[in-house]
Amino acid sequence: MIFPVMQGEHTFSWVYEKNGTGSTGSDHAWIDEILFPVRHIHFACNAGADQDRCQEAVQLEANAIGYETLLWATTGDGSFSATDILDPIYTPGEQDLANKAVSLTLTANNELGETLTDDVTIRFHDPASIEMDEEGDICESQSIDLNATVNEAGLVSWETEGDGEFSGILGAEATYTPGAQDIANGSVNLRIKAMSPYGCGDAEHLFLLNVHPIEHTEFNMEACGSYNWNGTEYSEDGDYEQTLQSIYGCDSIVTMHLTLIDAYQMETEVAACDSYEWGGETLTESGIYEHTFTSIHGCDSTVVMQLTINNSSEDMWAVDACDSYEWDGITYTESGIYDCPSDRNHQRRHRS
């Protein structure tokens, strides 16, 4: 006789009960042979899925069947809350955190002396971080290429406090074009955010973008004869414009209002007694002298002087006249002693 038995654990018992088919004699029952199928116990060991965790203790989630003993081991320097259970807590050591990962091994043994092992890798992550300059400079007609170094981040995004536009707001690289208000303000704050995919701490970084306008400046210049401006020679009056580069590489338009003043030359005749001071020099002889002076405009002014030096002498004579006397263009109406006003060859005294 065969009895079907379903999978699982069962308890079997054999019981003889007398029925009412006979009332005399001895009743007997016996079992000649009982055959059970060979027991097969499934034996398996799984240390669990690899995990990405912050720098903290880890709850292990292993599973196994058909085992008699369990043993956890580490390749690092951390510790287990227990080494002989399926779900201990593993606390990483300093070396584990420095290596950013550790491998844990679960060993299972069954009653038949068989051994199974399985490994699980735990990866340890820092909070998200961002490395980038604090500020940058561009001209009003330019865009700026932004490039940040982002670590331990999943989603990375950009945002502005101004009215400009990004080429794309996702990712560590972006191009930003300032808006009209950014240009008017002269600067704008840009912010990059990085989110940790493992919940280990997000990061953000503020970048100051300075937007420099095109500068327009004017100045007046007076020069003698001609003027050299940044290698260009100008020989006529007028308004001239050049485009220069500022320290930020931006255009700077400069307008010059140029007035040219000609150098001039003059001649003069001078008569002096004994000597004459001219241009810081004492002249004692008659002759033609030339000296270059600087005008109020800074231009050369050449003066040619014909100098007559009269040696001093003194003559005196008496003149009698009625009512008035004219001497060297001057009319005298009173008696007295007079010097000749214009005869510089001699110091003459006239008494009239």
Per-residue pLDDT reduced to its tens digit, 278-333: 878 888 888 898 877 776 666 777 788 888 888 766 667 788 888 888 887 888 88
Residue 213 has pLDDT above 80, yes or no: yes
Residue 77 has pLDDT above 80, yes or no: yes
| pLDDT, average across residues 213-229 | 88
CB atoms within 10 A of CB 128: 23
Higher pLDDT among residues 311 and 72, named by residue: 72
Q: Distance between CA 316 and CA 138 in Å, rounded? A: 89
Q: Are 275 and 282 in contact (CB under 8 A)?
A: yes
Confidence of residue 85 (pLDDT cuts 50, 70, 90): very high
| pLDDT, average across residues 62-86 | 96
Bridging pattern class, strands 165-166 and 173-177: antiparallel
Q: Distance between CA 126 and CA 196 in Å, rounded? A: 9
CATH topology of domain 129-212: Immunoglobulin-like (2.60.40)
Residue 348 has pLDDT above 50, yes or no: no
Confidence of residue 219 (pLDDT cuts 50, 70, 90): very high
Domain boundaries, the chain: 1-125, 129-212, 215-261, 264-310, 314-351
pLDDT of residue 24: 62
Query: Are 1-125 and 129-212 the same fold in CATH?
Result: yes
Residue 168 has pLDDT above 70, yes or no: yes
CATH of domain 1-125: 2.60.40.10
Q: Distance between CA 129 and CA 216 in Å, rounded? A: 42
According to the per-residue pLDDT averaged within each range, which of 2-11, 96-105, 249-258 is highest? 96-105
